[in-house]
Amino acid sequence: MNETLSPSAPPRVLFINQVCGPLFRELVEDVAPQLGPVELLTGTELEVAPARRAHLRVRPAPAYDRRATWRRISSWLTFGAVAFFRSLGGDRRKLLFLVSNPPFLGLIGWLVSILTGRRYVVLIYDLYPGMLENLGKVRRGGLVAGLWHAMNRVVWNRAACVFTIGDELADNIRPHLALGAGAPRLVVIPNWADSTFVRPVPKAENCFARRIGETDKLTVLYSGNLGNSHDLNPLLSIAGQVREQWTEVSFLIIGGGVRFAELEQRIRVEALTNVKLMPLQPEADLPYTLTTGEVAVVTFERGAEGFMVPSKTYYYLAAGCALLVVASAPNSVSKLVEEHHCGLVVAPDDRAGLAAALDRFRTDPEFLASCRRNARAVQEKYFGRGNSQLYVRELASLLAGGTGN
């Protein structure tokens, strides 16, 4: 680590991420004072704390546009062009840090490495095209999937290090990596939540819960992306079945994504009066939106298990929510729940099992309280912000000329 570099020195690491959420921002913030100065190229508007400005420089780039498929692709391409030219400049010893979305972003690191000899690392959050093949969105073994897999192998095998966030993801990445002395290092570092920012808040003291009328309810919460890999239809089916009998139970969905309109329509058509659907709320409100739920839902579309680890999991744990995992196959989150007794796991097509799980949370307050205590305890022990130091250690070794420990 090098804390003596002048803030005016060339950046040692260039982080490239079009959509920079809280986790990635915290990663960069924690790396910067220890390995900096560093740059972050992003399409997300960020305000850097004064204490970080000497070590972290944020460079604006085109934002991600979700409004239509052609807009998404256009915003990816414009961001990619800016990232490519930004990556070419400066000291060739500068390390590039790339994420797995947009899907072709790794190619920029590969091409820049070919042209300049600059090294890069890749952080894989979601594994494509494997997940799309399993979901039936891309034909397995087809031209698109074949080219995508080939691109991944080229990018990953030239990388100085490949990071990912779960053991199942690593198992699915490993067959695509070369063997032997020249193979890239594959490192698993779990995501985290800042437990000083998100912590259990009694509902009576929760301004958000009071505002939306949830203080006298047992709230089943879903918060996060409403994308193709997250199926909430089983949950809505149960909500429709129990709305007359379970008057003390409320279902709260907070999120954004391609399925928002679909959910909105179903709630309206089926008159699901026990379901509240809200858009994503400001990040500053997370300590209150998350603690509105006593039970928090993590869903996997069948086939997505092993190709993603929803980051919302660790925020739910920090908030002290019991977890309800809806998944058709074992995965990092379901194993965590079963090992640490912080919730229940059911299959998406097991409607009776899903109803029974919710009923147990509803009728067994001691079980619910135990799950909530265990959730907070496991987050503090294994998934705190200190996990960012694992990145610091690996990057420090690379900057020193090593290959990791």
What's the pLDDT tens digit per position in 86-96? Answer: 999 888 889 99
Question: So what's the architecture of 203-382 in CATH?
Answer: 3-Layer(aba) Sandwich (3.40)
**pLDDT at position 107 over 50:** yes
- Angle, helix 105-116 to helix 143-158, in steps of 10 degrees: 50
Instruction: Give domain limits for the chain.
Output: 13-192+385-399, 203-382
- Residue 249 contacts residue 218 (beta carbons within 8 Å): yes
Residue written as token pair 């979700």 = 66
- 382 three-state secondary structure: helix
**pLDDT at position 235 over 50:** yes
**pLDDT at position 1 over 50:** no
CA distance 288 to 403: 42
> Confidence band (pLDDT; 50, 70, 90) for 51?
low
- pLDDT, residue 8, reads 62
DSSP 281: P
- pLDDT, residue 67, reads 74
In this structure, which amino acid lies at residue 322?
A: A
pTM of the model: 0.90
Q: Which fold has domain 13-192+385-399?
A: Rossmann fold (3.40.50)
Alpha helix positions (H), 223-276:
233-242, 260-269
CA distance 211 to 215: 9
CA distance 326 to 235: 9
DSSP 148: H
Rg (CA), the chain: 22
Name the strand (E) or helix (H) holding 295. Answer: strand 295-299
**pLDDT at position 362 over 50:** yes
Tens of pLDDT along 303-331? Answer: 888 899 999 999 999 999 999 999 988 89
- pLDDT, residue 157, reads 96
**pLDDT at position 11 over 60:** yes
**pLDDT at position 301 over 90:** no
CA distance 295 to 360: 11
- 345 three-state secondary structure: strand
**pLDDT at position 53 over 60:** yes
Mean pLDDT computed over 132-158: 93
Is-same-fold flag (13-192+385-399; 203-382)?
A: yes
Pseudo-torsion of CA 219, 165, 85, 118, nearest 10°?
160
